[in-house]
């Protein structure tokens, strides 16, 4: 015998007055009964509800459940089945979700549909999560009279989501630990190079060790910036260049007679991969000036300037030292620093220019702010020219 439910006694029109008869998406169709002509035999609808794998609920405008399908009452763990057992819609859910349940009733009274997620503990105390789609039922006069709800058990999905969040948190912790170890290793390497340079009697060896220390410290600086930055997608240039310059001066021990000036727009950022390459290139050019421009402890200065437009950047590194050799050819240079600069310029789809004006050495690097990777792969490796 089929129980007579409020669904069978109430003229139904489950279409929101705001939506009228516009087309529904597939997802909405799963949760809405949209202007469906019902069979005169209400047992057909009743049979569909009673065999649903979801919990089907009808709530009156006072917030009391007036109908729940039998599978739903089992899934909810109720001792009896509404309306024989009086159950409040809000009290059906955990206390933390009472506000959401009350909100859904308020929305139904206003003729609006809503969707939310709520929890109901099982008899064993374990939480069971539900995705609830609530829609107003209108009477023959077009006024909201009841609320029709489809509650779908999404506990497994919620558990999988929580498990994924825990896994992500665990991996983030491992990344933080690895990053901390990298920082310590870089500091240790830089310290070892500095100590070895101080105790080396060979001037050439000492200079090479100091230059290696400067490179390591530049990498450590960039790593530190990325580690403590708000995000890893972009890197800020001005403060990074200033820190790299300070550490290069300290590594080469020239802070008493050479000054570095940085001119860069505040807040200028680049995509991380391009910004890192530009900072490493700047390190090499600064180190070149500190190492070669002022022999014998001569006083001088190095100027680093970054400027450009929305599409292009210009990096300028100038010193007022003794300048480059007359026969200097960057393409044939055997120095590691110049080869690194040329390689980074090619990576950035940029062009290295060396201006032969005196006094001093003057390097210019022009590069697009955002060059596609494909373009960088097709450019020739040698992009250096003396003008």
Interval 331-358: pLDDT, tens: 767 678 888 888 888 888 888 888 877 7
Comparing 135 with 80, which gets the higher pLDDT?
135
Give the DSSP letter string of 83-149. TTS--BTTTTS-GGGHHHHHHHHHHHHTT--EEEEEEEE-TTS-EEEEEEEEEEEE-TTS-EEEEEE
Same domain, 199 and 319: yes
- Return the bridge partners of 306, or none: 315
Structural contact between residues 326 and 379, judged by C-beta atoms closer than 8 angstroms:
no
Element (H, E) at 332: none
Residue where one domain finishes, among candidates 153, 176, 191: 153
Alpha-carbon distance 244 to 386, whole Å? 27
Alpha-carbon distance 161 to 13, whole Å? 36
Same domain, 132 and 25: yes
The share of the chain scoring above pLDDT 90, in percent, equals 27
Structural contact between residues 322 and 253, judged by C-beta atoms closer than 8 angstroms:
no
Q: How far, in Å, are 64, 290, 308, 347 from residue 305 at the CA level?
A: 72, 16, 10, 21
Q: What 3-state class would DSSP assign to 270?
A: strand
Structure tokens that stand for 273 in this block: 């991969």
Residue 208 lies in a domain: yes
| Top-confidence range, 90-99, 196-205, 221-230 | 90-99
Report the domain count for the chain: 2
Q: In what order do the strands lie in the sheet containing 55-60? A: 65-68, 55-60, 144-153, 127-138, 114-121
| Mean per-residue pLDDT of the chain | 79
Same domain, 65 and 135: yes
Same domain, 124 and 141: yes
Same domain, 237 and 312: yes
Closest CA to 290 of 329, 250, 328: 250
Residue 36 lies in a domain: yes
Residue where one domain finishes, among candidates 104, 128, 153: 153
Residue where one domain finishes, among candidates 153, 180, 201: 153
Structural contact between residues 187 and 174, judged by C-beta atoms closer than 8 angstroms:
no
Same domain, 185 and 331: yes
Alpha-carbon distance 288 to 325, whole Å? 13
* Domain assignment of residue 194, given as a range: 160-386
Confidence class of residue 376 from pLDDT cuts 50, 70 and 90? very low
Alpha-carbon distance 270 to 74, whole Å? 58
Same domain, 202 and 85: no
28 CB contacts (<8 Å, ≥6 apart)? 34
Same domain, 138 and 167: no
Same domain, 176 and 268: yes
Alpha-carbon distance 263 to 306, whole Å? 6
341 CB contacts (<8 Å, ≥6 apart)? 281, 284, 285, 352, 363, 365
Interval 113-165: pLDDT, tens: 999 999 998 777 788 999 999 999 999 999 999 999 999 999 999 999 989 99
Output the pLDDT for position 84: 78
Cite the DSSP H helix spans in the chain. Answer: 6-9, 26-31, 43-50, 70-76, 98-109, 155-198, 203-228, 238-252, 272-292, 336-347, 373-378
Same domain, 165 and 148: no
56 CB contacts (<8 Å, ≥6 apart)? 49, 67, 68, 69, 72, 148, 149, 150, 151
Element (H, E) at 313: strand 312-319
pTM of the model: 0.56
Residue 33 lies in a domain: yes
3 pLDDT above the threshold of 80: no
Alpha-carbon distance 276 to 280, whole Å? 6
CATH code of the domain in which 71 resides: 3.30.450.20
Interval 228-271: pLDDT, tens: 766 667 888 888 898 888 888 888 888 888 899 999 888 888 88
**Opening angle at CA 180, ends 179 and 182, nearest 5:** 65
Same domain, 99 and 229: no
Residue 270 lies in a domain: yes
Place of tokens 């390459």: 277
Number of other CB atoms surrounding residue 186 within 10 Å: 18
Alpha-carbon distance 272 to 379, whole Å? 21
Residue 1 lies in a domain: no
Same domain, 51 and 171: no
Alpha-carbon distance 122 to 75, whole Å? 9
Q: What 3-state class would DSSP assign to 43?
A: helix
CATH code of the domain in which 231 resides: 3.30.565.10
Residue 202 lies in a domain: yes
Alpha-carbon distance 58 to 97, whole Å? 18
């Amino acid at each position: 015998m089929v129980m007579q439910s409020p669904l069978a006694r109430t003229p139904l029109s489950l279409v929101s007055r705001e939506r009228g008869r516009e087309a529904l998406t597939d997802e909405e169709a799963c949760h809405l009964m949209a202007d469906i002509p019902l069979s005169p035999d209400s047992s057909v609808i009743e049979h569909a509800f009673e065999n649903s794998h979801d919990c089907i609920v009808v709530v009156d405008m006072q917030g009391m459940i007036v109908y729940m399908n039998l599978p739903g009452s089992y899934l909810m763990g109720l001792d009896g089945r509404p309306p024989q057992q009086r159950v409040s819609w809000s009290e059906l859910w955990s206390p933390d979700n009472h506000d959401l349940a009350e909100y859904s009733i308020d929305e139904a009274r206003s003729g609006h549909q809503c969707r939310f997620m709520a929890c109901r503990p099982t008899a064993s105390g374990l939480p069971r999560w539900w995705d609830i789609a609530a829609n107003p039922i209108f009477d023959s006069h077009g006024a909201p009279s009841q609320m029709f709800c489809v509650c779908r058990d999404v506990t497994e999905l919620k558990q999988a989501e929580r498990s994924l969040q825990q896994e992500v948190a665990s991996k983030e912790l491992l990344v933080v630990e690895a990053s901390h170890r990298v920082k310590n290793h870089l500091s240790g390497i830089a310290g070892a190079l500095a100590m070895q340079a101080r105790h080396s009697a060979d001037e050439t060896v000492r200079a090479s060790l100091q230059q290696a220390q400067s490179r390591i410290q530049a990498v450590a600086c960039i790593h530190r910036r990325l580690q403590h930055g708000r995000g890893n997608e972009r890197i800020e240039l001005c403060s990074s260049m200033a820190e790299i310059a300070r550490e290069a001066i300290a590594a080469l021990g020239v802070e008493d007679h050479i000054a570095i000036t940085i001119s860069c727009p505040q807040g200028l950022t680049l995509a991380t991969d391009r910004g890192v390459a530009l900072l490493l290139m700047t390190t090499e050019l600064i180190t070149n000036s500190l190492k070669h421009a002022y022999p014998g402890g001569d006083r001088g200065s190095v100027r680093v300037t970054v400027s450009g437009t929305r599409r292009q950047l210009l990096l300028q590194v100038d010193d007022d030292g003794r300048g480059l050799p007359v026969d200097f050819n960057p393409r044939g240079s055997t120095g590691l620093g110049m080869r690194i600069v040329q390689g980074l310029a090619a990576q950035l789809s940029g062009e290295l220019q060396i201006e032969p004006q005196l006094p001093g050495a003057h390097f210019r690097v022009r590069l697009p702010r955002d060059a596609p990777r494909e373009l960088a792969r097709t450019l020739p490796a040698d992009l250096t020219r003396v003008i």
